[in-house]
């Protein structure tokens, strides 16, 4: 899966996303109550495989994402990555950073 494909799938999961107030992390609560990061949420959608947020590298591998891309997505989702990636994730999800600042 390419980054472009990933972002398209992420865009399809737009409902239920929020920015964690203390950490600014991007998260989604699934119907079963599990919390997902962008990588695990897309994996659940595309592969119907559930991983917790700490298992994002496994979820990324199942999606066919390169490890470097997976780590950049996860870092940006947690507010630690590049602004370029963070901006793409927020845009795909229809969220704005200033909503929690």
So what's the pLDDT on residue 101?
39
Structural domain boundaries of the chain? 3-99
How far, in Å, are 32, 37, 67, 68 from residue 17 at the CA level?
Answer: 15, 9, 24, 24
Position 100 pLDDT exceeds 50: no
pLDDT in tens, 13-64: 988 899 888 888 999 998 878 899 999 999 999 999 999 999 999 999 999 9
pLDDT in tens, 56-87: 999 999 999 999 999 999 999 998 888 999 99
Q: Are 36 and 28 in contact (CB under 8 A)?
A: yes
So what's the pLDDT on residue 96?
84
Overall pTM surpassing 0.85 (yes/no):
yes
């Amino acid at each position: 899966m390419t980054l472009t494909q990933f972002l398209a799938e992420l865009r399809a999961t737009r409902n239920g996303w929020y920015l964690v107030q203390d950490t600014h992390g991007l998260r989604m609560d699934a119907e079963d109550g599990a919390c997902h990061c962008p990588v695990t949420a897309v994996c659940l959608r595309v592969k119907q495989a559930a991983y917790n947020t700490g298992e994002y590298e496994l979820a990324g591998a199942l999606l066919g994402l390169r490890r470097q891309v997976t780590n950049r997505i996860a870092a940006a989702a947690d507010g630690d990555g590049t602004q370029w990636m963070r901006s793409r994730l927020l845009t795909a999800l229809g969220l704005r950073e200033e909503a929690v600042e």
